[in-house]
Amino acid sequence: MRPAALDWSVENCTIARAMEILGERWTLVVLREVFTGVRRFDDMRVRTGIPRQVLTNRLANLVEQGVLSREPYREPGSRVRHEYRLTEKGLDLWPVLVAVLGWGDRHLADAEGPPLTVVHRDCDAPVRVELRCADGHDVERMRDVVPRPGPGARRRTS
């Protein structure tokens, strides 16, 4: 049986567009750092071991894409430097990182458990990503979700 997805173009796929921004390993590591409060270049470089030029490129791309903003700061007696802050567009990625973290915890964590957890600030309960349809039904099994062409879908021409 031929999959129906073959009838639809992927030219304007938003997953592909998002992965153009996020699809490189170090980009998600940089975002993890900023989400955990590590906002300064040298702190990120030392903590993660990302090569200087790679980190420079990833930060510049995230700023250019509007995911991070560069904010000046000055330590007493030092020159002005910049730290990186999440924009609203960047904050919208938090559920994505929590989902990746949950997947990694389930399938890749060491025997002692995961090295990072995320909790609700108000009650300290663990946070996880859950799927719910627009009518409010919780999605218990991933096989209960069906991809369909959206309003921006284009029929394949060849």
pLDDT in tens, 47-94: 999 999 999 999 999 999 999 999 999 999 999 999 999 999 999 999
For the chain, the farthest-separated pair of C-alpha atoms sits apart, in whole angstroms, at 70
Q: Six-digit token pair at 18?
A: 């998002």
DSSP letters for 54-101: HHHHHHHHHHHTTSEEEEEEE-TTS-EEEEEEE-HHHHTTHHHHHHHH
The CATH class of 4-144 is: mainly alpha
Measured in whole angstroms, the distance separating CA 124 from the mean position of its chain's CA atoms is 22
Structure letter (DSSP) for residue 10: -
Q: DSSP letter at 144?
A: G
Cβ atoms of residues 126 and 119 within 8 Å: yes
- Domain residues of the chain, as ranges? 4-144
Question: What is the rounded distance in angstroms from the CA atom of residue 54 to the CA atom of residue 49?
Answer: 10
> Over the stretch 4-34, which tens digit does the pLDDT of each residue have?
888 888 888 888 889 989 988 899 999 999 9
pTM above 0.75, yes or no: yes
